[in-house]
Amino acid sequence: MADERAQAPAPGPNNKGKFLVLIFLGLLLSALSALVALIGLESGPVGNAFVPGGTTPENLPEPESEGARLLVRHCGGCHNLPSPKLHTAEAWPYVLDRMVAHARTQVFSRHPLPSEENQRLLLDYLRRNAKPSAAATAP
Ligand code: HEC
């Protein structure tokens, strides 16, 4: 073993080391700019491409209800205010779970997570006012 190592070519001249350092610096720089882009994205309207505008606290269904109040409080921070009509009652639980996960995973989050109780109220509200499902509208 020791003999084989002794026969291995000697490490190249210093140039190779410098080359590796340059590559390392390059990688570090791209990682940093990716991080900055991520942080920048977080503070902007990340989800607006996915949520159409035009919904306001006033034109929500049951605007005076606790559900509407919670929607305005918890769902308008990252994108336009989502209308309950965007999804069917069957789909909302999955979408809501994903949104809670979004809010939970944001390191620099300024978006308050709804409590378990409020998530239930919010889901009731969304499902009560949801888009009619295909089954419900079928003749
Ligand atoms: C922490 C940020 C954040 C918060 C808070 C948030 N969302 Fe989102 N939302 C996103 C992101 C990012 C997307 C786009 C990616 C995706 O669809 O998961 C999105 C997309 C959506 C969409 C469009 C995609 C689809 O499946 O129709 C709807 C509807 C939506 N959000 C509803 C809600 C509701 C309701 C709430 C409040 C409970 C909420 N969001 C709170 C980040 C957030």
Hey, what are 47's tokens?
């989800």
Q: Supply the residue whose CA is at minimum distance from atom 38 of ligand 1.
A: 75
Q: What is the pLDDT of residues 86-113, one digit of tens each?
A: 999 999 999 999 999 888 887 656 678 8
Task: State CA 41 to chain mean position distance.
Answer: 10
For ligand 1, say whether the CB of 99 is within 6 Å of any of its atoms. yes
Q: Report the predicted TM-score, pTM, of the whole model to 2 decimal places.
A: 0.72
Give phi and psi for 81, each to the nearest 5: -65, 125
Considering only CA atoms, which residue is closest to atom 4 of ligand 1?
78
> Number of structural domains, the chain?
2
In a domain, 133, yes or no: yes
Q: Which atom of ligand 1 lies closest to the CA of 86?
A: 29
Q: Is 69 in the pocket of ligand 1 (CB under 6 A)?
A: no
60-88 pLDDT, tens digit per residue, is 999 999 999 999 999 988 899 999 999 99
Do both 75 and 123 map to the same domain? yes
- Give the Å distance between the CA of 47 and the centre of ligand 1: 6
Domain interval for residue 36 = 2-43
Sequential DSSP letters for 95-114: HHHHHHHHHHH-TT--SPPP
